[in-house]
Copies of this chain bind each other. A is one copy, B any other.
Amino acid sequence: MDASELVEALVAGNRRALARSITHVEADSAIGREVLRQVYPRTGRAQTVGITGSAGAGKSTLVGALAREQRKRGRTVGIVAVDPSSPFSHGAILGDRIRMQDLTGDPGVFLRSMASRGNLGGLSETATGAIDLMDAAGFDVVLVETVGAGQDEVEVATAAQTTVLVANPGGGDEIQSMKAGLMEVAQIMVVNKADLAGADTAVAQLRALLAIANLQSWTPPILKAVARANEGIEEIVDAIDLHQAHVRSAEHADAERQRHVRGQIIDLARAALHREALEAAERSGSLQALVDSVAARERDPRSAALELLDGLRRSWASSNDFDA
């Protein structure tokens, strides 16, 4: 099937066409890029929700509970799992897979796990693409599960409209460390495992961090949940609905859409630039010469890095294969 046929089948609800399209996007193939280009005008209908937080915070269980609650509300759900420890992804623990069986057997749910493609930033490109494909395929809700608070995860979070940050009681150190990355990009905070001691302290810590955060028109609610026992889940879905209504409201839609699109373009440009720069440097052989001279302490790594970039610019300046 070529790109147009895939898009036609995918938009008509064909699951195999959707799965195949995601595979093309993961491989960064020409068909994958063309499919993404063609489906883009059909996106924007789905609620896209990122779920992030440290490994062990209970994100997978929460994603499962949110998916079930969304199904109860009559909505279809696409799930993208980019957390390598997630039971939704390939490194699954059998027990977890069994707990997820009601979801994987439900025709109103589509699950896709995503390998982290190493350090080149491919994760956000692929996850953004998978979200768009599920959106165009007609899913009412797309949940994206990711892990951690590094650059990759912030980018994946940026790919969704609503980001839910999952913390735990007793994670004081962890909550402190969130300042660095995710506080500014999360729209809903959840203290999961709230039946454990210290839940109220965790809520208070999050509240203190929010008080000093640079908030725009939306103030993130801080909710308690016990995802394992399905407690607090309705409230989270209600909060997601509220945030979605906010980003789509006449008053805020333009600014929110600009913010979201700007983040996406910058992240995708950055990822492409990474890959291209590294490939060009390896190909030209200039990297090896620089490595040799720094290894001999003839020059320092910083000036070598700048020279590498100058070489790259020069090669771009002398080539004329600009596509646009």
Q: What residues of B have a CB within 8 angstroms of the CB of A129 in the complex?
A: 302
Query: Quick one: given A258-B291, A269-B305, A302-B37, are A310 and B297 in contact (CB under 8 Å)?
Result: no
A314 on the B face (CB < 8 A): yes
**Which of A15-23, A83-91, A220-228, A232-240 interfaces with chain B?**
A83-91
Q: What residues of B have a CB within 8 angstroms of the CB of A172 in the complex?
A: 56
**Which of A63-71, A103-111, A190-198, A260-268 interfaces with chain B?**
A260-268
| Interface members, chain A 161-207 (any B CB < 8 Å) | 171-174, 176-177, 179-181
What is the CA–CA distance of A266 and B273 in the complex, to the nearest angstrom? 13
Interface string of A36-65 (1 = CB under 8 A from B): 110011011000000000111000000000
A13 on the B face (CB < 8 A): no
Pair A294/B148 contact, Cβ less than 8 Å: no
What is the CA–CA distance of A272 and B313 in the complex, to the nearest angstrom? 13
Chain B CB within 10 Å — which of A36, A55, A258, A308 has the most?
A55
Pair A55/B173 contact, Cβ less than 8 Å: yes
Main secondary structure of the interface of A (DSSP, over half): helix
| Chain A: interface residue total (CB-CB under 8 A) | 86
Q: What residues of B have a CB within 8 angstroms of the CB of A314 in the complex?
A: 322
Pair B323/A174 contact, Cβ less than 8 Å: no
Q: What residues of B have a CB within 8 angstroms of the CB of A258 in the complex?
A: 291-292, 295
- Nearest-neighbour CB distance to chain B for A90, whole angstroms, equals 11
Query: Quick one: given A40-B297, A277-B273, A324-B310, are A85 and B302 in contact (CB under 8 Å)?
Result: no
**A91 contact from B121, B179, B306, Cβ within 8 A:** B179
A97 on the B face (CB < 8 A): no
A125 on the B face (CB < 8 A): yes
Query: Quick one: given A151-B152, A180-B84, A300-B37, are A295 and B265 in contact (CB under 8 Å)?
Result: no
Number of copies of chain A assembled together: 2
Pair A300/B91 contact, Cβ less than 8 Å: no
A218 on the B face (CB < 8 A): no
| Interface members, chain A 275-310 (any B CB < 8 Å) | 276-278, 281, 287, 290-292, 294-295, 297, 299-310
**A151 contact from B151, B267, B307, B324, Cβ within 8 A:** B151
Q: Which residue of B lies closest to A278 (CB)?
A: B266
- Nearest-neighbour CB distance to chain B for A311, whole angstroms, equals 8
Q: Which residue of B lies closest to A123 (CB)?
A: B180
**A55 contact from B176, B254, B291, B295, Cβ within 8 A:** B176
A248 on the B face (CB < 8 A): no
Pair B272/A171 contact, Cβ less than 8 Å: no
Which 5 interchain pairs have the tightest Cβ spacing?
A: A150-B150, A40-B300, A268-B305, A317-B317, A85-B176
